[in-house]
Amino acid sequence: MYAHTNSMVLIIPNLTQNVSLARVAVAAFASQLHFSLSEIEELKVAVSEAVTNAVLHAYDGPGEIRVEATCHDGFIEVCVSDCGKGISDLAEAMQPSHTTIPERMGLGFSFLESLTDSLEVESHAGRGTSIRFTKRALTARTEDSRP
Amino acid sequence: MQEAKKALTDIKSLNGTLLVRASGELDIHTSMTFRSRVEQEVQSNNCRRLIISLRDVTFIDSSGLGALLGRYRKMTELGGKMALVSIPARLKPVLELSGVLRILPVFDTEKRALERL
């Protein structure tokens, strides 16, 4: 018998109402790991920030956003990607409080960094952006460390 | 637009104070409606105090927080005040992370906010 790696893919149009769908889908998928309720809340916020970033910035018109999640041993890996414009200055975009839209706090990437265990952002002009992060289930880590 | 309706269930004007009971999820989709409805009510009732209850809010991200902070900035521009009340435990980590709790007054109950703001 071999171990399966469970994964999911969600492809959604870049509509604001789909941000909720994406975070709920990933949270439901993550429930197979031993995440605490507060960790699930953090995961939902992280997914929401990544998908919101794609909805707001990736395309000038309609476009698709791909949300992939994979459950590993005790942690989840999530990748939110688009085939849009890309981010021209990634370092600037990731600065706390940086925003190009009034009434936004510019905290999306700060939240992603704070609420996840690892974060990688890759962006290419005209080819899109991918935001990849991992989140470990602390409960699982605690259980693993028990004698 | 069902979600947008869910994000804001109850608004009351009481002697120059607007009491907003938000509910549901405050994210990019719902915060736009939230923002415009609160703005409209503040203007039409000529309110200088704004109290927002988060008791029935089940989720908030940086878009929702931006909508709250944006209302605080508007009230300050008008020479008014704003406070948050009844923050659910599940929302506190994100509110703390954002720094919003260091900027906005927070009260446990609507009654206390109405008395002290």
List strand residue ranges (DSSP E) for A1-147, in order. Answer: 6-13, 64-71, 75-82, 118-124, 128-136
* CA distance, residue B66 to nearest chain A CA (Å): 5
| Residues ≥6 apart with Cβ < 8 Å to A28 | none
Q: Please give the share of chain B, as a percent, with pLDDT higher than 70.
A: 92
Question: B interface mutation test: which of A12, A15, A104, A135 has the most B CBs within 10 A?
Answer: A104
Mean pLDDT, residues A76-88 taken together? 94
Q: What mean pLDDT, rounded, does chain B reach?
A: 91
Q: Which pLDDT does position B68 carry in this prediction?
A: 94
Q: What mean pLDDT, rounded, does chain A reach?
A: 88
* CA distance, residue B76 to nearest chain A CA (Å): 15
Q: Work out the pLDDT band at B1, boundaries 50, 70, 90.
A: very low
Signed CA dihedral, B49, B54, B57, B63: sign only: positive
- Nearest CB partner across the interface for A17, out of B3, B66, B97: B3
CA distance A145 to A133: 23
Q: Which pLDDT does position B5 carry in this prediction?
A: 46
Q: Compare B10 and B109 and report the one with higher pLDDT.
A: B109
Contact A105 B27 (CB under 8 A): no
Nearest to A48 by CA among A83, A21, A12, A76: A21
Yes or no: say if A44 and A31 are a contact pair by the CB < 8 Å rule: no
Whether residue A127 lies in the annotated active site: no
Yes or no: say if A80 and A47 are a contact pair by the CB < 8 Å rule: yes
Judged by average pLDDT, the poorest of A97-101, A139-143, B37-41, B91-95 is A139-143
- pLDDT per residue over A27-38, tens digit each? 999 999 999 999
- pLDDT per residue over B18-55, tens digit each? 999 999 999 999 999 999 999 999 999 999 999 999 99
What backbone torsions phi and psi does residue B13 show, to the nearest 5 degrees?
Answer: -110, 125
Judged by average pLDDT, the poorest of A97-106, A120-129, B70-79 is A97-106
- Nearest CB partner across the interface for B27, out of A19, A37, A114: A19
Q: Compare B54 and A98 and report the one with higher pLDDT.
A: B54
- Whether the pLDDT of residue A45 is over 90: the answer is yes
- Nearest CB partner across the interface for B62, out of A17, A41, A111: A111
Mean pLDDT, residues A136-143 taken together? 68
* CA distance, residue A95 to nearest chain B CA (Å): 14
- Whether the pLDDT of residue B94 is over 80: the answer is yes
ipTM of the complex: 0.89
Whether residue A14 lies in the annotated active site: no
Q: Which pLDDT does position A2 carry in this prediction?
A: 58
